[in-house]
A and B are shown apart, each in its own frame.
Chain A
């Protein structure tokens, strides 16, 4: 018996237990995968072995930009243990995570675009044999000019790295204006302008990417992979392998960390599948640590120019933000990243007029993509440091200047983002109180300072990556007469606790023990689609789907129990593994008996639940990036000591408050807060994905400077300061039990808070990230010499953005649409509706 699928727009239908009534949700229950992980039993992708399994290695480009002239595998073919090769010719269909930038090939066909771009795949009996063979594959390249940064991409339109893109080597160029920003600047008493730079960095998950592919019969293939997005991988495999999706099975193994680095479909995954089909044997590939740096898809380096008009009381009147992203060699999520570097500027403080211009350049380096925060940490850094400077200049306390103009809950921003619950005020209050901000900021002795910053992040992107009308997340429940419940969901556990969240929500509603839930997740053959563990969507979206499925299951079981107990179904309470009459608890039966009662009456029991985010009010090109069912908010105060002579600084304490809506599990929420603080600290202090450019008289080869865990710096136990975390609960009507995200938000305030604390300590600004001691020192030296006490980028390149897309704001009576589409020359890039629908059918 199947229930009709209901739209999630009808909120009134949902009957969540009230938050006062919860037994499991909101308690620090033990995560469901803990036991297996602490005993080393969890099977990560590289732990898998299968009979007759062989190993694969990829031969990667040693030049940054070149045409492939020839590939000669003859010497490699003779090497011991070698079983097969693949080249790009065998997989001509391009793929890519975004429909608008399907610019990758499983193996390069005619061109390589960065050092590390894969060209040949080799399979051999052992990993070592595959590796030895890879050394003797001869690839002949004809080098093309290397484009190593945004400036070069702008000034070098030819040779084009890709044959598509808005112009030359600019992948994307956009300009959007909400409200009359010039008038807004006229209104201002003072205008501030800053140029800031955020260096690229990478995810550095503990687990390298690993994939095992195996075939069942000749035209079915199963791919086990350390991926955050099995569904998107599934679609790419279908496209490239030209095998019907129903015959491809993708199983995402628990990820040993993802952070966004495993959200793209990857060359190695597709090659493993193809090789497995070719050889008829299981094929495993585990990337080396160095390869992971080249796989990358990490944080874009972004240069930013921010100009803000304020009244003398600190009220913001207008902002013009320009960002230039260095995208690396492929699209990845880059178009979305580009929009994200502007989209969320309006959800924290009232910004009535806002203009955002951006470019993303292709360069011959590892492709950038989504890393925790996805395009928002960079502009948030610029904004929060910029605001700190404004506050300082106007003589207003940095906490106050924010408090006085927080965005209202249940409001729509100037760029048409619908904000629901908004707990930033409480977050600021918590860290101000906890750190002794009022007494200490500006008053500590030289070399000792406090810095404050805030941030906000989405609880899931409002739109899926490919256009469709289907749910973003689905859950299926099977109720067994043993009392056990099997929960099927496409979500992927990457350490953020998603397995535990959906299990707990289900257990809460059904009133059963967490241990009685059997999870079956992330298997495209068995589980309903969940789009993946990215953009902090899982708690809200899969959680809501689980909630719906569980409520339907509960209602079904209630009907059966009601008949047995002879009481009205809606008076039944489900808790502690029993179903009992609320008014008279002695009238009860066990959950198991209730299931049997229902199964006897209604047949085999199963329910589904799904989630589609509410539609956002924005209707302009680009409005698809930014909307979310709910925004989380965070505020941080960081305490730092700086040694004036060397510029060496140490973060001594972090206070972080995060508005999570509702904790499904406060221990896990704390874990995400602390983990975000940790990663933010790394980014602020030491992480950088940078390249070594060989001298011009040589080949211009661009190689990664630090492709190892030793050289790419990441904070250790000894570097980590104590963290005081505050969980603020301001339930959001769109979240399951009011829950919002926590996996990414708390990272955002860290970098600017560190920069602001250094200013409070020694009176100088470092307007770039990471902040190295020599930058602090140079800024101090400059100040001592009477110059500006600042280290940072000098200017933003002159770029002609043309006419911006003008979108009247809600305040101006707009309707969410742009008024000058033709004038703005909105470029082709995303297809029309018809094209998009066709694309969905074609698996693109």
Chain B
């Protein structure tokens, strides 16, 4: 890698100051940033190490919900007894992500802010709408792993496996900003290219994620997280379905959020409505999986894949009860 400076601020204000000076990026664990630097799709002159900041490294259980610091490693989240018992879908999605080594290193914040895996975006020779140019190479090129929804401007998908689950739980994302701290709900945090093609998350210049809160009010006793992948490890999902039923004990308060098929996690309230406990709920719900999809030349397989995953998720959720 081309050598860069490492700056270690001791408070958030300093961090934001440093990252605004010249060509700088935030560094958490580095599992994504270092790879992008090695691939020459990122070349900061300095990195601002968030790990030296206090207050972002713990998991706190409150009445409101569970606050997870952005610097907490993924494996720490998935093995935390309270997260496991109250928000098992979060743990389920983590244990399928990447590898044990990566899960020990990668942070929650880094996971949410990782850049898409689109092979054109991650190749230094291509310029597209996502990195300051125009157009989308994948649309007329190779798009096997790209999105089938909302893919007109950019067809890359949100790679974070946590993202759909956080949207389903209406998690709160706490952001360090110039004016202090602000909050967004997960569905506001993850944005699509129609909002701003250059970003996947709603962070202004210099902002970073401080903590994530899983609200007690969206706990679900019946839940499922199903995904399909080419390889059973080391791989991102080709498609995923997060299903929460009767959240907070409220009958009919379901969430169906699709992952890896769109630029931001896609909530499907139409599918939610079909999950009504009737005998044909699976057929009805999975039957409309592809509604509104605009598949590209190579990723149409994601539609029947979603159908299958929705069916699997409903069966799985129905068989679970709150532990």
Q: How far is the CA of A676 from the CA of B142 in the complex (A)?
A: 31
Q: How far is the CA of A648 from the CA of B235 in the complex (A)?
A: 16
Which residues does chain A contribute within 8 Å of B81, judged by CB atoms?
Answer: none
Can you add 6 more A-B contacts, CB < 8 Å, to A713-B235, A717-B233?
Answer: A128-B1, A646-B307, A646-B308, A710-B234, A711-B119, A719-B231
Per DSSP, chain B at the interface is loop
Contact partner of B231 (CB less than 8 A), chosen from A646, A686, A695, A774, is A686
B53 part of interface (Cβ distance < 8 Å)? no
Proximity string of chain B (1-36) to chain A, C-beta cutoff 8 Å, 1 when within and 0 when not: 111000000000000000000000000000000000
Which residues, 359 to 406 on A, are CB-close (under 8 Å) to B? none
Q: How far is the CA of A132 from the CA of B228 in the complex (A)?
A: 40
Which residues does chain B contribute within 8 Å of A648, judged by CB atoms?
Answer: 228, 305, 308
Proximity string of chain B (292-306) to chain A, C-beta cutoff 8 Å, 1 when within and 0 when not: 000000001100110
B141 lies within 8 A of A695 (CB): yes
Residue contacts A-B, CB under 8 angstroms, 7 given: A128-B3, A132-B2, A646-B301, A646-B304, A695-B140, A710-B235, A718-B232
Which residues, 169 to 204 on B, are CB-close (under 8 Å) to A? none
A713 lies within 8 A of B308 (CB): no
Which residues does chain B contribute within 8 Å of A773, judged by CB atoms?
Answer: 301
Which residues does chain A contribute within 8 Å of B300, judged by CB atoms?
Answer: 774
Which residues does chain B contribute within 8 Å of A715, judged by CB atoms?
Answer: 231
Q: In the assembled complex, how far is the CB of residue A261 from the closest CB belonging to chain B, in whole angstroms?
A: 21
B228 lies within 8 A of A646 (CB): yes
Which residues does chain A contribute within 8 Å of B232, judged by CB atoms?
Answer: 716, 718-719
Which residues, 745 to 779 on A, are CB-close (under 8 Å) to B? 773-774, 777
How many residues from A make CB contacts under 8 Å with B? 23
Q: A132-B2, A692-B141 given as contacts; is B119 within 8 A of A705 (CB)? A: yes
Which residues does chain B contribute within 8 Å of A719, judged by CB atoms?
Answer: 231-233
Q: In the assembled complex, how far is the CB of residue A135 from the closest CB belonging to chain B, in whole angstroms?
A: 9
Q: How far is the CA of A715 from the CA of B233 in the complex (A)?
A: 9
Q: How far is the CA of A839 from the CA of B237 in the complex (A)?
A: 55
Contact partner of B308 (CB less than 8 A), chosen from A128, A645, A716, A774, is A645
B35 closest partner in A (C-beta): A710
Contact partner of B305 (CB less than 8 A), chosen from A128, A132, A646, is A646
B230 part of interface (Cβ distance < 8 Å)? yes
Q: In the assembled complex, how far is the CB of residue B233 from the closest CB belonging to chain A, in whole angstroms?
A: 4
Contact partner of A645 (CB less than 8 A), chosen from B142, B230, B235, B307, is B307
Which residues does chain B contribute within 8 Å of A187, judged by CB atoms?
Answer: none
Which residues, 690 to 743 on A, are CB-close (under 8 Å) to B? 692, 695, 705, 710-711, 713-719
Which residues does chain A contribute within 8 Å of B1, judged by CB atoms?
Answer: 128
Q: How far is the CA of A710 from the CA of B233 in the complex (A)?
A: 10
Proximity string of chain B (221-236) to chain A, C-beta cutoff 8 Å, 1 when within and 0 when not: 0000000101111110
B304 lies within 8 A of A645 (CB): yes
A774 lies within 8 A of B234 (CB): no
Which residues does chain B contribute within 8 Å of A686, judged by CB atoms?
Answer: 230-231
A647 part of interface (Cβ distance < 8 Å)? yes
Q: How far is the CA of A692 from the CA of B138 in the complex (A)?
A: 11
A643 lies within 8 A of B119 (CB): no
B120 closest partner in A (C-beta): A692
A713 lies within 8 A of B230 (CB): yes
Count of A-B contacts judged by CB separation below 8 Å: 52
Q: In the assembled complex, how far is the CB of residue A16 from the closest CB belonging to chain B, in whole angstroms?
A: 46
Which residues, 227 to 285 on B, are CB-close (under 8 Å) to A? 228, 230-235
Which residues does chain B contribute within 8 Å of A128, judged by CB atoms?
Answer: 1-3
B299 closest partner in A (C-beta): A774
B231 lies within 8 A of A716 (CB): yes
Q: In the assembled complex, how far is the CB of residue B238 from the closest CB belonging to chain A, in whole angstroms?
A: 9
Top 6 closest A-B pairs, CB basis?
A: A718-B232, A774-B301, A716-B233, A718-B233, A646-B308, A645-B308
Q: A645-B304, A646-B308, A695-B141 given as contacts; is B234 within 8 A of A716 (CB)? A: yes
Which residues, 48 to 101 on B, are CB-close (under 8 Å) to A? none
Which residues does chain B contribute within 8 Å of A716, judged by CB atoms?
Answer: 231-234
Which residues does chain B contribute within 8 Å of A647, judged by CB atoms?
Answer: 301, 304
Q: In the assembled complex, how far is the CB of residue A682 from the closest CB belonging to chain B, in whole angstroms?
A: 10
Q: How far is the CA of A648 from the CA of B228 in the complex (A)?
A: 9
Proximity string of chain A (506-534) to chain B, C-beta cutoff 8 Å, 1 when within and 0 when not: 00000000000000000000000000000
A643 lies within 8 A of B308 (CB): yes
Q: How far is the CA of A368 from the CA of B3 in the complex (A)?
A: 36
Which residues does chain A contribute within 8 Å of B3, judged by CB atoms?
Answer: 128
Q: In the assembled complex, how far is the CB of residue B138 from the closest CB belonging to chain A, in whole angstroms?
A: 11
A682 closest partner in B (C-beta): B231
B234 lies within 8 A of A777 (CB): no
A715 closest partner in B (C-beta): B231
Proximity string of chain A (765-797) to chain B, C-beta cutoff 8 Å, 1 when within and 0 when not: 000000001100100000000000000000000
| Residue among B1, B142, B231, B232 with most chain A CB within 10 A | B231
Q: How far is the CA of A233 from the CA of B305 in the complex (A)?
A: 49
A643 closest partner in B (C-beta): B308
Q: In the assembled complex, how far is the CB of residue B202 from the closest CB belonging to chain A, in whole angstroms?
A: 28
Q: In the assembled complex, how far is the CB of residue A385 from the closest CB belonging to chain B, in whole angstroms?
A: 23
B298 closest partner in A (C-beta): A774
A288 closest partner in B (C-beta): B38
Q: How far is the CA of A128 from the CA of B142 in the complex (A)?
A: 33
Which residues, 101 to 151 on B, are CB-close (under 8 Å) to A? 119, 140-142
Q: In the assembled complex, how far is the CB of residue A487 from the closest CB belonging to chain B, in whole angstroms?
A: 40
Which residues does chain A contribute within 8 Å of B308, judged by CB atoms?
Answer: 643, 645-646, 648
Which residues, 147 to 204 on A, are CB-close (under 8 Å) to B? none
Q: How far is the CA of A686 from the CA of B233 in the complex (A)?
A: 13
Q: In the assembled complex, how far is the CB of residue A97 from the closest CB belonging to chain B, in whole angstroms?
A: 32
Q: How far is the CA of A784 from the CA of B260 in the complex (A)?
A: 29
A708 closest partner in B (C-beta): B39
B119 lies within 8 A of A777 (CB): no
Which residues does chain A contribute within 8 Å of B305, judged by CB atoms?
Answer: 646, 648
Which residues does chain A contribute within 8 Å of B140, judged by CB atoms?
Answer: 695
| Residue among B119, B234, B300, B304 with most chain A CB within 10 A | B304
Proximity string of chain B (302-317) to chain A, C-beta cutoff 8 Å, 1 when within and 0 when not: 0011011000000000
Contact partner of B301 (CB less than 8 A), chosen from A711, A717, A777, is A777
Which residues does chain B contribute within 8 Å of A695, judged by CB atoms?
Answer: 140-141
Which residues does chain A contribute within 8 Å of B307, judged by CB atoms?
Answer: 645-646
Q: In the assembled complex, how far is the CB of residue B193 from the closest CB belonging to chain A, in whole angstroms?
A: 21
Q: How far is the CA of A719 from the CA of B230 in the complex (A)?
A: 10
Q: How far is the CA of A168 from the CA of B232 in the complex (A)?
A: 45
Which residues does chain A contribute within 8 Å of B2, judged by CB atoms?
Answer: 128, 132
| Residue among A645, A695, A717 with most chain B CB within 10 A | A645
Q: How far is the CA of A556 from the CA of B308 in the complex (A)?
A: 73
A694 closest partner in B (C-beta): B141
Q: How far is the CA of A647 from the CA of B305 in the complex (A)?
A: 9
Which residues does chain A contribute within 8 Å of B234, judged by CB atoms?
Answer: 710, 716
Q: How far is the CA of A839 from the CA of B142 in the complex (A)?
A: 47
Q: How far is the CA of A647 from the CA of B301 in the complex (A)?
A: 9
Q: In the assembled complex, how far is the CB of residue B145 from the closest CB belonging to chain A, in whole angstroms?
A: 10
